[in-house]
Amino acid sequence: LLLLLLAQLCSASLVPEREKDPEYWRRQAQDTLRNALRLQRLNQNVAKNLILFLGDGMGVSTVTAARILKGQLQHGQGEESLLEMEKFPYVALAKTYNTNAQVPDSAGTATAYLCGVKANEGTLGVSAGVTRDRCNTTKGQEVTSILRWAKDAGKAVGIVTTTRVTHATPSAAYAHSANRDWYSDGEMPPDALEGGCKDIARQLVENIPDIEVIMGGGRKYMFPKNASDVEYPHEEKHRGTRLDRRNLVQAWQEAKPPGKVAKYVWHRQELLALNLSRIDFLLGLFEPGDMVYELDRNNHTDPSLSEMVAVAIRMLQKNPQGFFLLVEGGRIDHGHHEGKAKQALHEAVELDRAIGLATRLTSAQDTLSVVTADHSHVFTFGGYTPRGNPIFGLAPMQSDVDRKPFTSILYGNGPGYKIVAGERENVSAVDFAHADYQAQSAVPLRQETHGGEDVAVFAQGPMAHLLHGVHEQNYIPHAMAYAACIGSNRAHCNAGARPAAPLLLPFLALLVLLC
């Protein structure tokens, strides 16, 4: 009885005092209603700028858990917190399946939300007529991306990622490949090389040579096989991989028009010291492979995603016709695959920090910002946890079957499956708050899998209301292109939508504040 009373007292103390007053919730709802009514005045400007933020593997459960983590990092209880993406007024759901897969991969999905066409798993920038690994099925099946549409319309374009710049998400913006793993010719089978298929790193340099900003990891795919890495000269795994012996960084610089300045950097201090007004093209490759998890990042040598995004936007804003920028928080996915929820969620919080920064550096009057994921993961959190429970903490009870505690965060499958002396591991005996702790899973797998449920799409800016319901994932770039009057569907551009007059923007902002 005493324990029950204590539990009830503790539970009552978790409720903030203001939330005990019904008027608090009524006022909050009425404020939300007033904001919703303001949305009846649609922003139908032409989008000068487009930013697509892609959280790789950032399913809805990841978004919710990241929200709680963000709040707890700010010393709140967490649940009442708001991510920057959650401040966007329009939300939709995207159906993520690939043409041949119920639960998709990142390559087929990237082709959908960048090129506007659904595709087979493992393939990039090609139609579903292409079979994975079959180089000879590629010819004539190439599909172009919204990055290419923006470039063809005279806009500046950029790619920023925490993975390799040749990884699935970024490469669908510029490459056409029957296999997402063909990072360099060193990863390609002989028949693909003989068939004339190009590796992804080479396509990055050759397909759209005037991409203004490219930042992320993936140095080793740009240099000759066995060439020492500039940062890790004694580590064999970080050496160059190219069989053709080409230096693609040099080739990237040489491909630029005369009089244009193309700058390559590999170190954070170099990046932050750049005078962007004197640079026309920027290539930043900060790791041989993927960039390091945010929790483990070397703050001296490697920039954060937010820092890269800030530089990218300032570079791209120099073009008076506007820009398209793809920003990927790519290692959310990797954290989940490894069963390391803490790594994954901190990656999601950093992506959200970059979203907030980009929102401050641009205007919703002329910039359409879209945040989404390629797919989800079999990641969940539950267990009747009380308000403010540490997101990486234990559920408040033990299992009524094996009498052992369990963490709120669990995976449906993955490397966290552990049997000790014939029973489920007792998590109270391990450091479950460690950054590399692998949360328990129901099924043992070396790598946890993707999830198949729909993912959220958050939108703000011109024509953001076009993202409004349950959509096929490939609809996203069509809606964005329509908003910006790029791509093939431009019949409306001379009639309905109109560019935001720059001189009117301060007055519009003032009106919004007064309303």
pLDDT value at position 500?
A: 59
pLDDT value at position 10?
A: 56
d(CA 188, CA 138): 15
pLDDT value at position 7?
A: 47
CA distances from 264 to 213, 245, 260, 295, 328 (A): 10, 19, 13, 26, 20
**Lookup: tokens for 388:** 């403010």
Whether 106 is catalytic is yes
- Under 8 Å between Cβ of 391 and 408: yes
d(CA 487, CA 386): 50
pLDDT value at position 1?
A: 36
Sequence-ordered alpha helix ranges (H) in 39-80: 60-73
> Helix-strand-coil percent breakdown of the chain, rounded to 5?
35, 20, 45
d(CA 145, CA 338): 30
**Which element (helix H / strand E) includes 409?**
strand 409-414
d(CA 359, CA 354): 9
Annotated binding site for Mg(2+): 56, 167, 169, 328
10-residue stretch averages of pLDDT, the chain, 515 residues long? 43 82 94 91 96 98 98 97 98 98 98 98 98 96 98 98 98 98 97 97 98 98 98 98 98 96 98 98 98 98 98 98 98 98 98 98 98 98 97 97 97 97 94 97 98 98 98 98 96 69 43 41
- Which residue in the list 61, 106, 171, 363 is annotated as catalytic? 106
Burial of 149 (0-12, 13-18, 19+ CB in 10 A): buried
pLDDT value at position 226?
A: 97
> For residue 14, how many other CB atoms are within 10 A of its CB?
12
d(CA 256, CA 262): 7
pLDDT value at position 11?
A: 55
pLDDT value at position 241?
A: 98
Annotated binding site: 56, 167, 169, 328, 333, 337, 374-375, 450
d(CA 327, CA 259): 28
Q: Considering just the CA atoms, what is the radius of gyration of the chain in Å?
A: 24
Domain residue extents for the chain: 43-378+451-492, 394-444
d(CA 509, CA 506): 5
User: In the beta sheet, which residues pair with residue 457?
Assistant: 92, 372
43-378+451-492, CATH topology level: Alkaline Phosphatase, subunit A (3.40.720)
Q: Which residues contact 3 (CB under 8 A, 6 or more apart)?
A: none
pLDDT value at position 40?
A: 87
Dump pLDDT digits (tens) for 425-446: 999 999 999 999 999 999 999 9
Interior CA angle at 160 toward 487 and 334, to 5°? 115
pLDDT value at position 506?
A: 44
**Lookup: tokens for 41:** 């005045």
pLDDT value at position 14?
A: 86
Annotated binding site for Zn(2+): 56, 333, 337, 374-375, 450
